[in-house]
């Protein structure tokens, strides 16, 4: 998607507030929805189409130039999603014969600028970063441009998002079959809501865990809210959190409180699997309640929960593949070429569909293998 950000956290919260307010509210803080005919039928049709997926293999690519030095900027190595994305980039760079250094923000986005400046001082050839928006490091990115240091991002929003006068500061960003990051993540959130609407016959009472310190998750949750707004019999209970909740144990506590506060809730939606693994799944299981639990990318631990029936469904994302795609963009930039889209799309999984017998969810075909083949490296 192409959501670019000149907005700060306050702006993100305003968007969320407006969309949630548009859904209406009851005296106990729940979000209610408006009427729309045929929504359950259309949601069921979308679910069936998403079982087939929208993936496309990556295109041909130039052979890499060996000896490059790359800094990998992580949104937090203790957060599984961040760590997997960075590790994918590390493995891709290693296959190309590049050196890598990981800079861990430790779930503090304010540390991202220090990582960019470290790469400038070290005379690195490029930076790949995962799930860190431009707005939190504008000046450092300007310094990177002056130093001719290309910064490529995945699941991150550039500085021209939401601001007509702002200029983009990323040298490149991972794009998808559905479009740029903001379009893809919006479709992702919409699909999560459609699954719940379809499986509850339009009578969902859904707890949505909504991160509000990164703009991508804000777009995702807004798409969920908008879809539920069209569902006459649905109710939404938002539970907000930030990256800091991963390090302070806040997610499990928030999940437990939400389950106690909303005894009628029959569904839980998380925006990425690290949320599930950091206390939300444990809270649902300890409650003893039978609920639809909608996960995300399909990490191995999540797929174990799918196979055991403790999680209901999710939409697969090859997080490591996003790292491969980011390194592919840097490689093309070093050759003076334009980037191409990653080939990543959307594919729904549940116990009966697209769930392997063991391990994590896998995209159609050998996604990483296609990149290695296109680069002419590896096996």
Q: Is the pLDDT of residue 25 over 70?
A: no
What pLDDT score was predicted for residue 14? 33
Q: Model-level pTM?
A: 0.88
Q: Give 158-192 pLDDT, tens digit per residue.
A: 999 988 789 999 999 999 999 999 999 999 999 99
Q: Is the pLDDT of residue 97 over 60?
A: yes
Calpha distance 145→139 (Å, rounded):
10
Angle of CA points 4, 370, 104, to nearest 5°: 45
Kindly indicate the confidence band of residue 295, based on its pLDDT and cuts at 50, 70 and 90. Answer: very high
Cα separation values, 266 from 28, 290, 366, Å: 17, 7, 36
Domains of the chain from N-terminus onward: 9-54+181-315 (3.40.50.2300), 69-178+319-344+366-375 (3.40.50.2300)
3 state SS of 172 = strand
Kindly indicate the confidence band of residue 263, based on its pLDDT and cuts at 50, 70 and 90. Answer: very high
What pLDDT score was predicted for residue 379? 59
Region 80-93: what's the mean pLDDT?
A: 96
Q: What is the DSSP letter of 277?
A: I
Q: Is the pLDDT of residue 9 over 80?
A: no
What pLDDT score was predicted for residue 12? 38
Kindly indicate the confidence band of residue 17, based on its pLDDT and cuts at 50, 70 and 90. Answer: very low
Task: Identify whether the C-beta of residue 71 lies closer than 8 Å to the C-beta of residue 101.
Answer: yes
Q: Give 45-63 pLDDT, tens digit per residue.
A: 999 999 999 888 777 899 9
Q: Give 317-366 pLDDT, tens digit per residue.
A: 999 999 999 999 999 999 999 999 899 999 999 999 999 999 999 998 88
Q: What are the CB-based long-range contacts (under 8 Å, 24+) for 30-33?
A: 30/205, 30/235, 30/236, 30/237, 30/262, 31/225, 31/228, 31/235, 31/236, 31/237, 31/238, 32/234, 32/235, 33/228, 33/229, 33/230, 33/231, 33/232, 33/233, 33/234, 33/235, 33/236
Calpha distance 131→9 (Å, rounded):
15
What pLDDT score was predicted for residue 5? 28
Q: Is the pLDDT of residue 4 over 60?
A: no
3 state SS of 130 = strand
Q: Is the pLDDT of residue 293 over 90?
A: yes
What pLDDT score was predicted for residue 18? 36
Q: Give 196-252 pLDDT, tens digit per residue.
A: 999 999 999 999 999 999 999 999 999 999 999 999 999 999 999 998 898 878 899
- H-helix or E-strand containing 349? strand 348-350
Q: Give 103-135 pLDDT, tens digit per residue.
A: 999 999 999 999 999 999 999 999 999 999 999
What pLDDT score was predicted for residue 365? 80
Q: What percent of the chain has pLDDT over 90?
A: 81
Q: Is the pLDDT of residue 264 over 50?
A: yes
Task: List Cβ neighbours of 106 (8 Å cut-off, separation of 6 or more).
Answer: 76, 77, 78, 247
Structure tokens at 180: 């740029």
Q: What percent of the chain has pLDDT over 70?
A: 90
Q: How many CB atoms lie within 10 A of CB 239?
A: 21
């Amino acid at each position: 998607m192409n959501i670019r950000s000149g907005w700060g956290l306050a702006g993100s919260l305003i968007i969320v507030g407006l969309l949630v307010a548009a859904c209406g509210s009851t005296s106990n803080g729940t979000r209610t929805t408006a009427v729309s005919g045929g929504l359950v039928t259309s949601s069921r049709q979308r679910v069936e189409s998403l079982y087939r997926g929208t993936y496309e293999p990556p295109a041909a690519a130039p052979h890499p130039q060996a000896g490059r030095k790359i800094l990998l900027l992580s949104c937090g190595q203790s957060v599984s999603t961040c760590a997997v994305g960075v590790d994918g980039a590390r493995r891709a760079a290693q296959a190309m014969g590049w050196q890598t250094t990981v800079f861990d923000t430790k779930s503090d986005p304010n540390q991202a600028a220090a990582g960019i400046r470290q790469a400038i001082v070290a005379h690195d050839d490029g930076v790949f970063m995962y799930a860190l928006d431009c707005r939190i490091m504008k000046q450092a990115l300007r310094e990177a441009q002056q130093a001719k240091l290309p910064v490529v991002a995945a699941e991150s929003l550039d500085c021209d998002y939401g601001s007509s006068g702002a200029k983009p500061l990323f040298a490149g960003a991972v794009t998808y079959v559905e479009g740029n990051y903001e379009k893809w993540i919006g479709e992702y959130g919409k699909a999560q809501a459609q699954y719940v609407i379809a499986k509850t016959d339009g009578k969902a009472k859904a707890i949505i865990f909504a991160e509000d310190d990164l703009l991508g998750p804000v777009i995702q949750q807004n798409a969920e809210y908008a879809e539920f707004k069209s569902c006459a019999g649905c109710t939404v209970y938002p539970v907000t959190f930030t990256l800091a909740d991963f390090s302070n144990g806040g997610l499990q506590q928030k999940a437990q409180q939400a389950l106690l506060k909303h005894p009628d809730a029959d569904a839980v939606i998380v925006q990425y699997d690290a949320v599930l693994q950091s206390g939300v799944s444990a809270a649902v299981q300890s409650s003893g309640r039978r609920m639809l639990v909608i996960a995300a990318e399909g990490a191995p631990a999540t797929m174990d929960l799918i196979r055991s029936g403790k999680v209901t469904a999710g939409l697969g994302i090859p997080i490591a593949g996003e790292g491969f795609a980011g390194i592919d963009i840097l490689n093309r930039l070093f050759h003076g070429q334009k980037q191409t889209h990653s080939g990543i799309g959307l594919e729904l999984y549940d116990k009966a569909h697209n769930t392997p017998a063991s391990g994590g969810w896998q995209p159609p075909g050998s996604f990483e293998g296609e990149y290695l083949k296109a680069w002419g490296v590896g096996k």
